[in-house]
Amino acid sequence: MSHQVFLSLGSNIDRDHNIRAGLDALALRFGEIGLSPVYESEAVGFNGEPFLNLVVVLYTDVSVGELAQALRDIEADHGRVRGEKKFSSRTLDIDILTYADKAGEFDGVTLPRDEIVKHAFVLKPLADLAPDARYPLTGESYAALLKKTDLSNQSLWTVSFPWPSP
């Protein structure tokens, strides 16, 4: 059985290259993927270069744990070093936002990811990509959640990012 999964991707080190390489790796591993618009945002929690962020939707029948491991492998293949400070520069950061309608801890992964309702660089692209999809904890659509969540103190702007590369 195939499950709908939303992932967030971000990078602020060699951003264009690492986001493209991450998308290529996801498509190679999972097949067809859907993308939100790509946003640029200021680094959160530390002084650093701006990030590129987006949300990806894919469908998979692997378990949450297998998915998490596949994402860690993709990150490592693109220079991500584990054990970094929580708020630091990243070559490639891929997080599972939701896996079907699961809520709770699965294979060591807490779902849905709490960043959905905390950060504009997660909620805005998620609402752009899937406005009518439902947040597993409340059943609200992401469009409604975006409308009621005050993210006005978080700067975010769209950037042109053709993928696959022309």
Range of the domain at 58: 3-159
User: Which domain CATH number covers 31?
Assistant: 3.30.70.560
The average confidence (pLDDT) of the chain is 91
Largest CA distance in the chain: 43
Please check whether residue 41 lies inside any domain of the structure. yes
Q: Is the peptide bond before 131 cis (omega within 30 degrees of 0)?
A: no
Q: What is the per-residue DSSP string for 123-164?
A: HHHHHHH-TTSB-TTT--BHHHHHHHS--TTS-EEEE---SS
Please give the tally of structural domains in the chain. 1
One-letter amino acid of 116? I
User: Which distant-in-sequence residues (6+ apart) come within 8 Å of 130 by Cβ?
Assistant: 6, 57, 142
pTM (2 d.p.): 0.92
What is the rounded distance in angstroms from the CA atom of residue 23 to the CA atom of residue 156?
21
What's the pLDDT tens digit per position in 30-76?
A: 999 999 999 999 877 667 889 999 999 999 999 999 999 999 999 98
